[in-house]
Amino acid sequence: MTFVQDITLGQFYPAESPVHRLDPRSKLIAMLLIMMFLMMTTKVPAYSFFTATLILSIFFARLPLGLVLRNLKPFLWLFILTFFLNLTYGTGQVLWTLPFLHFRITDQALVRAGIYSFRIGLMIVYAAVFTLTTSPMDITDGLARLFAPLKRFKIPVQEFAMMMTVAIRFIPLLLEEADRIKKAQTARGAHFEGNIVQRIRSLIPLIIPLFISAFRKADDLALAMEARCYRIGKERTSFNQLQFGIADYSVILAIALLGGMALAI
**pLDDT tier at 65, thresholds 50, 70, 90:** confident
The per-residue pLDDT of the chain, averaged, comes to 81
pLDDT of 5 higher than 60: no
Nearest Cα neighbor of 159 from 144, 169, 170 is 144
Please indicate whether residue 19 or residue 104 has the higher confidence score (pLDDT).
19
Q: How many CA atoms lie within 13 A of 197 on its CB side?
A: 0
With residues binned 3-state (H G I as helix, E B as strand, rest as coil), the percentages for the chain, rounded to 5, are 70, 5, 25
Concatenating the DSSP letter of every residue in 147-213 gives TGGGGGGT--HHHHHHHHHHHHHHHHHHHHHHHHHHHHHHHTT----SSHHHHHHHTHHHHHHHHHH
* Domains in the chain: boundaries: 2-171+240-264
Distance CA 79, CA 120 (A): 7
The pLDDT of 51-66, averaged and rounded, is 90
Please indicate whether residue 4 or residue 213 has the higher confidence score (pLDDT).
213
Please indicate whether residue 160 or residue 61 has the higher confidence score (pLDDT).
61
Residue 44 confidence (pLDDT)? 81
The pLDDT of 166-179, averaged and rounded, is 79
Residue 238 confidence (pLDDT)? 66
The answer to whether residues 142 and 238 touch, using CB atoms and an 8 Å cutoff, is no
pLDDT of 4 higher than 60: no
Distance CA 260, CA 49 (A): 11
Please report, for residues 111, 137, 218, 222, 228, the alpha-carbon distance to residue 225 in angstroms, rounded to integers and kept in the order given: 50, 14, 11, 5, 5
Bridge partners of residue 104, in order along the sequence: 97
The pLDDT of 22-34, averaged and rounded, is 90
Query: DSSP 3-state assignment of 74?
Result: helix
The pLDDT of 26-31, averaged and rounded, is 91
Which tens digit of pLDDT belongs to each residue from 176-225?
Answer: 888 888 888 888 777 777 666 777 777 777 888 888 888 888 888 888 88
